[in-house]
Structure 1
Amino acid sequence: MTLVPTLTDAIITRSGRVVTLTLNRDDVRNELTGTKLVEDIERTVAWINANEEVAALIITGAGKAFSSGGNIKHMFHREGSFGGDVYEVQNRYRAGIQRIPLAMQKLEVPSIAAINGAAVGAGFDLACMCDIRLAVPDAILGETFVNVGIIPGDGGAWFLQRLVGYERAAELTFSGRTFKGEEAKAMGIVLDVAAPDDLLEAAQRLAQGFAGKPPQALRLTKRLMKSAQRMELADFLEHCAVFQGICHNTGDHIEALAATLEKRLPIFKGH
């Protein structure tokens, strides 16, 4: 495995094949536009994709918030990511916050957002970019951009409707309303809720379960599910056939079959 990347505003920890990325700017509620978290997320994804020893990623926040999204004071004063004319602002979005969805879409392992507190605006969208979300009951979530007179410039309108369908996504986006963990579960935005003291343990259990599967098949399955979002069925089935050919020729496939026949736990080696 290559060296763990050096991060500025986030912390990487590892438990077996599971990596946890903790957004570590509690002083600004883990906001994304006035910190180095964009770079930290992008760097973490690139590192994971290059290291097959990693099988799952958990993203959570230090302190009271998961992420508060964009820096409101910077918006008000038209500085940082939000300063300049139309051309300059669009360039800053492209070179800034929009790097997160592009990175998360390329992530080759399952991802879990452990939403420990407020996840609003771009912070909510970051959670929606993950494959699975867990939240504490009192977490405040919301696609809140319209409340401050802007649109989801980080791709949130793309992710949310794929998560809950167009009608529900439209209601949440047009209203900008916030909601808590239990309602998020009822809407299908989060898989489950967990008490604050149990959240990371629940995320670890889920992630470790994924990490116990054959590593190559797990990554190929993630790639396959992402491909399904943009391919026609006939093309997608051709894609499946190639990936299945790869899987049938791995040692882990044979080990899984042998373990099943011999009624024992498999030992996967990633080849």
Structure 2
Amino acid sequence: MQTGTFHGIEVTTPEKGVALITLNRPEQLNGMNHEMKRDLVELLLQAQMDDAICVVVFTGNGRAFSAGDDITGRPPSWDGAEELVPGIPPGHNHFIGTYNGLRGLSQPVNLAVRNLDKVSIAAVNGVAIQSGFSLALSSDFRIASSTARLGSGTLRFGLLPDEAGHYLVVQMLGVARAMDFFMRNRIVSAAEAADLGLVHEVVEPERLLDRSLELAVELAAGPQVAQRLLKRAIYNAAEMTMHQALDDIATKTAISDWDPDAIEGMKAFKEKRAPQFGSTAP
């Protein structure tokens, strides 16, 4: 996986097996545009295909995780940014252009996060609104700074939560609470987000990145094949009947039971020691 400076994004590997993707447009509250989204999708594909990467952590530079799409209309400056993918038009220039822009550029970001078999963590350091909110909710784990605020906020502009926010909130809160959340244009504190089940943990700002990397290191040391298959099975189960979910996990177990990590796990149990997992592929 490439590291370095890209369009509004910094990528580093601060720990073994951990990629840290930092949204880095602090003056614009890490507002996203189509170039950032294209780079995010490419970077997530690289993370998926790189056996050295086990966990991906997202965070933001400055006082925002991401305040959503950049709607200033000002052309961004990408000084020093490496080119990951060729440039293409942003869409949104007429009604079918809006459809194309959403389906081809914006929505693929959250699909790429959910399609990533490696575990993802959102370290929500500040405001997470609209596309920033969706990016956080798409991640498998969400740890928020106590100063963070999260929500969609689209109705205040007469717009829709069109990048997966509505789907993800319905999944987490159910229809009734999702209706209240969106229709009343709610932006909630980190503590309230935790009470609602939108984030897993809330920590003090100075602890956020350390705590997120602690979790990342813990997960990176786990049995990777089993973790990745289980992640997919959990998301599948949310949309399957019980019979379908049981068949799905039986198929995955036929892989994981024969992985070297399963052999090591059973051997370590018999020898009364901690397992030393190291497999990355069947």
Same fold by TM-score greater than 0.5: yes
**Corresponding residue for residue 134 of structure 1:** 143
AA partner of residue 50 (structure 2):
N
Task: Render the CA deviation track for 1:196-239: whole Å, top value 9, x for unaligned.
Answer: 11001111111211111111111111121222233222222111
**Aligned equivalents of 1:22, 1:173: Cα separation in 2:** 27
**Corresponding residue for residue 186 of structure 2:** 177
Q: Is the 8 A contact 2:29 2:63 kept in 1?
A: yes
Task: Render the CA deviation track for 1:57-94: whole Å, top value 9, x for unaligned.
Answer: 1100011110011223349xxxx857422122222222
**Corresponding residue for residue 26 of structure 1:** 26
**Aligned equivalents of 2:54, 2:180: Cα separation in 1:** 35
Counterparts of residues 80-229 of structure 1 (less than 5 Å)? 83-229=92-238
Task: Report the aligned-residue RMSD.
Answer: 1.9
Q: Is the 8 A contact 1:52 1:215 kept in 2?
A: no
AA partner of residue 72 (structure 1):
I
Displacement of 1:13: 1.5
Aligned length: 265
**Corresponding residue for residue 265 of structure 2:** 256
Q: Is the 8 A contact 2:3 2:10 kept in 1?
A: no
- Structure having the larger proportion of residues in helix: 1
**Corresponding residue for residue 239 of structure 2:** 230
**Aligned equivalents of 1:218, 1:255: Cα separation in 2:** 15
Where 2:6 maps in the other structure, the secondary structure is coil
Q: Is the 8 A contact 1:5 1:44 kept in 2?
A: no
**Aligned equivalents of 2:214, 2:96: Cα separation in 1:** 46
Where 1:32 maps in the other structure, the secondary structure is coil
Please identify, of 82-91 and 173-182, the stretch whose mean Cα deviation from structure 2 is larger.
82-91
Q: TM-score, normalised by structure 1?
A: 0.91
Tell me the percent identity.
29
Q: Is the 8 A contact 1:74 1:82 kept in 2?
A: no
**Aligned equivalents of 1:146, 1:89: Cα separation in 2:** 17
Evaluate the alpha carbon distance shift between residue 3 and residue 117 of structure 1 in structure 2; reply closer, same or farther with a 3 A threshold: closer
**Corresponding residue for residue 12 of structure 2:** 13
Displacement of 1:4: 4.5
Q: Is the 8 A contact 1:128 1:163 kept in 2?
A: no
Displacement of 1:30: 0.9
AA partner of residue 61 (structure 1):
G
Structure 1 unaligned blocks of 5 or more: none
Where 1:36 maps in the other structure, the secondary structure is helix
AA partner of residue 37 (structure 1):
M
**Aligned equivalents of 1:243, 1:99: Cα separation in 2:** 26
Q: Is the 8 A contact 1:69 1:123 kept in 2?
A: yes
Task: Render the CA deviation track for 1:118-158: whole Å, top value 9, x for unaligned.
Answer: 11111111111111111111212111111110111111101
Where 1:238 maps in the other structure, the secondary structure is helix
Q: Is the 8 A contact 1:18 1:55 kept in 2?
A: yes
Where 1:244 maps in the other structure, the secondary structure is helix
**Corresponding residue for residue 60 of structure 1:** 59
Q: TM-score, normalised by structure 2?
A: 0.88
**Corresponding residue for residue 47 of structure 2:** 48
Where 2:252 maps in the other structure, the secondary structure is helix
**Aligned equivalents of 2:99, 2:154: Cα separation in 1:** 16
Displacement of 1:95: 2.1
Where 1:150 maps in the other structure, the secondary structure is coil
Matching of residue 73 in structure 1 with residue 88 in structure 2: no
**Aligned equivalents of 1:3, 1:24: Cα separation in 2:** 16
